[in-house]
């Protein structure tokens, strides 16, 4: 299709500040009704189409949203213009007009709400919005982050069966469970698109259905981490016995290193992880997992110790009664069962986010947990979510919420200290499937995510992504 020259007076401006925009972004505010007699409250991310030629604006303008691959998503006719202040530098006496504030909505619920359906457009991050008249393109702009640019984060998703070779944690069949999981990633992309963040195409995401690990971890120190008083520790791995003499005064870390050395001499790979000291422990405990050189996880058996003070626990995962989750006492380290499960899927790369989906937690009222970098524990950038979180879907956006804890690198919630914030994604207890539910991210949160997880962060989870073959119309000055 031939492109027509864009009229010199047609441009994008911010609905609040009136400043010209070279790119557009998804709206970060709920839909608000517009009227001539009542000024419209500011909507974060909304824009107007400004006509600054002084004559009547062109008729028959259509806004169309396209996906990154060029597929049409939605369109909106622009029929109403109102007087608007002209941009700086406009000739004296010139009259300007602008459209109603246009919202780029993240999903159909937001797009079709009656309060703003007549001025909302369904859009997606990395796509573009085009102004056309009589099928001729006049102006276009990409849909990017609020301050421009695109950011991407890599996630790896594991669906853990309740028992080996059992059904998936939700969805009855593996195919259904995988489809539901990819739908959750699509939801998270839509929500985090407000900040210009994507977790990649859902159909290309790494999604695996795995059995729960059994007897896969040795925890030196258990919950108390007292020093050894002397004795003998033994266990078997791949049918071979490892025996270690314990000397009085030895720490959990010292004994764990000796066990790891013995395993390495067998030709296996030993992975040691020191936990933060929990509220009930004398010192940090240390976890040990063993793998074959190809990465396959090995199991321990026949654990025995004659030491009276240094405990060594065998970690395994039994999801038939739900996953034992952390409390305030051991939140910095996680429970033994949580650590066994999460360490079994950890790739050791701090630039990826592991998402582990389980049947349920051991007690009600919890649908998701996250382990973040700022806690300084050995479990970082990892998320747990159960099938109740999947079932809640757009009622609570559980996956997007837990991703928020990781990307924002903050354990708290927007309503922890102050007024309730039911429309914010990071609210602690909101449940509302409407566009006024927990789905909004503020500009300050977008900035924090980039600061805490961007390229300059200690553990960069966000990297720049090139727009998919599209460029914005040049900024006119």
Taking alpha carbons only, the member of 9, 436, 357, 11 closest to residue 156 is 357
User: Tens-of-pLDDT digits for all 477 residues of the chain?
Assistant: 344 445 557 899 998 888 999 999 999 999 988 766 655 557 899 999 998 876 667 788 999 999 999 999 999 999 888 888 887 777 777 788 899 999 999 999 999 999 999 999 999 999 999 999 888 899 999 999 999 999 999 999 999 999 999 999 999 999 999 999 999 999 999 999 999 999 999 999 999 999 999 899 999 999 888 999 999 999 999 899 999 999 999 999 999 999 999 999 999 999 999 999 988 888 999 999 999 999 999 999 999 999 999 999 999 999 999 999 888 778 888 999 999 999 999 998 989 999 999 999 997 778 999 999 887 888 999 999 999 999 999 999 999 999 999 999 999 999 988 889 999 999 999 999 999 999 999 999 999 999 999 999 988 999 999 866 544 333 333
Distances (CA, A) of 475 to 23, 251, 291, 335, 471: 9, 64, 56, 54, 11
Same domain (yes/no): 225, 276: yes
Rounded-to-integer distance, Cα 270 and Cα 297, Å: 10
- Count structural domains, the chain: 3
Query: Which residues neighbour 295 within 8 Å (Cβ) at sequence distance 6 or greater?
Result: none
Query: Which residues neighbour 238 within 8 Å (Cβ) at sequence distance 6 or greater?
Result: 266, 268, 298
Same domain (yes/no): 205, 338: yes
Do the domain assignments include residue 256? yes
Q: Domain boundary residue among 273, 296, 315?
A: 315
Same domain (yes/no): 206, 324: yes
Do the domain assignments include residue 148? no
Query: Which residues neighbour 18 within 8 Å (Cβ) at sequence distance 6 or greater?
Result: 84, 85, 87
Residue 334's φ and ψ, nearest 5 degrees, are: 85, 160
pLDDT digits (tens, 9 = 90+) for 204-251: 999 999 999 989 999 999 988 899 999 999 999 989 999 999 999 999
Do the domain assignments include residue 100? yes
Do the domain assignments include residue 205? yes
Do the domain assignments include residue 477? no
Residue 99's φ and ψ, nearest 5 degrees, are: -70, 170
Same domain (yes/no): 442, 343: yes
| Predicted pLDDT at 33 | 81
Same domain (yes/no): 309, 349: no
Q: Domain boundary residue among 91, 113, 142?
A: 142
Do the domain assignments include residue 233? yes
Q: pTM for this structure?
A: 0.91
Same domain (yes/no): 99, 36: yes
Q: Domain boundary residue among 265, 298, 315?
A: 315
| Predicted pLDDT at 473 | 39
Same domain (yes/no): 19, 134: yes
Same domain (yes/no): 132, 58: yes
> What's the CATH number where 161 sits?
3.40.390.10
Do the domain assignments include residue 95? yes
Rounded-to-integer distance, Cα 170 and Cα 177, Å: 6
Distances (CA, A) of 109 to 195, 271, 414, 434: 19, 46, 23, 7
| Predicted pLDDT at 456 | 94
Query: Which residues neighbour 82 within 8 Å (Cβ) at sequence distance 6 or greater?
Result: 36, 97, 98, 99, 100
Same domain (yes/no): 324, 178: yes
Rounded-to-integer distance, Cα 391 and Cα 398, Å: 10
Do the domain assignments include residue 471? no
Same domain (yes/no): 199, 348: yes
| Predicted pLDDT at 375 | 79
Same domain (yes/no): 308, 323: no
Helices 398-408 and 443-453: crossing angle in degrees, nearest 10, is 60
| Predicted pLDDT at 328 | 78
Same domain (yes/no): 167, 134: no
- In terms of residue numbers, what domain contains 64? 10-142
Between β-strands 300-305 and 231-237, what pairing exists: parallel, antiparallel or unpaired?
antiparallel
């Amino acid at each position: 299709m031939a492109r027509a020259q864009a009229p010199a007076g047609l441009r994008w401006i911010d609905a609040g500040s009136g400043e010209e925009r070279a790119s557009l972004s998804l709206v970060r505010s709920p839909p608000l009704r517009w009227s001539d007699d009542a000024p419209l409250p500011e909507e974060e991310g909304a824009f107007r189409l400004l006509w600054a030629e002084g004559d009547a604006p062109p008729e028959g303008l259509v806004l169309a949203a396209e996906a990154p691959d060029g597929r049409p998503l939605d369109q909106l006719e622009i029929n109403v213009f109102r007087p608007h202040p002209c941009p700086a530098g406009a000739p004296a006496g010139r009259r300007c007009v602008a459209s109603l504030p246009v919202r780029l909505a993240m999903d159909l619920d937001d797009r079709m709400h009656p309060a703003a359906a007549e001025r909302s457009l369904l859009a997606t991050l990395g796509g573009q919005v085009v102004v056309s008249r009589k099928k001729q393109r006049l102006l276009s702009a990409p849909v990017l982050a609020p301050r421009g640019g695109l950011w991407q984060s890599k996630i790896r998703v594991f669906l853990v069966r309740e028992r080996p070779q059992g059904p998936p944690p939700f969805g009855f069949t593996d195919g259904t469970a995988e489809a539901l999981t990819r739908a959750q990633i699509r939801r998270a992309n839509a929500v985090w698109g407000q900040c210009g963040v994507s977790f990649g195409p859902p159909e290309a995401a790494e999604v695996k259905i795995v059995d729960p690990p059994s007897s896969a971890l040795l925890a030196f120190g258990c919950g108390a981490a007292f020093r050894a008083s002397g004795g003998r520790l033994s266990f078997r791995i791949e049918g071979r016995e490892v025996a270690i003499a314990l000397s009085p005064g030895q720490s959990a870390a010292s004994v764990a290193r000796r066990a790891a050395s013995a395993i390495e001499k067998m030709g296996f790979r030993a992975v040691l992880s020191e936990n933060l000291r929990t509220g009930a422990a004398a010192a940090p405990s240390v976890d040990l997992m063993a793998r074959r050189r190809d990465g396959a996880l090995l199991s321990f058996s026949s654990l025995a110790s004659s030491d009276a003070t240094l405990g060594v626990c065998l970690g395994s995962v039994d999801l038939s009664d739900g996953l034992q989750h952390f409390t305030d006492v051991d939140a910095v380290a996680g429970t033994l069962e949580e650590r066994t499960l999460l360490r079994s899927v950890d790739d050791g790369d701090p630039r990826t986010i592991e998402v582990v989906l389980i049947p349920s937690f051991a007690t009600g009222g919890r649908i998701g947990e996250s382990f973040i970098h700022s806690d300084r524990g050995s479990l970082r950038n990892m998320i747990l979510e159960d099938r109740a979180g999947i079932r809640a879907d757009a009622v609570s956006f559980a996956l997007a919420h837990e991703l928020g804890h990781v990307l924002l690198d903050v354990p708290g919630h927007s309503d922890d200290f102050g007024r309730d914030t039911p429309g914010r994604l990071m609210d602690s207890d909101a449940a509302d499937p409407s566009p006024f539910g927990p789905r909004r991210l503020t500009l300050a949160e977008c900035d924090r995510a980039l600061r805490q997880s961007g390229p300059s962060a200690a553990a960069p989870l966000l990297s720049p992504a090139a727009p998919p073959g599209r460029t914005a119309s040049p900024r006119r000055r």
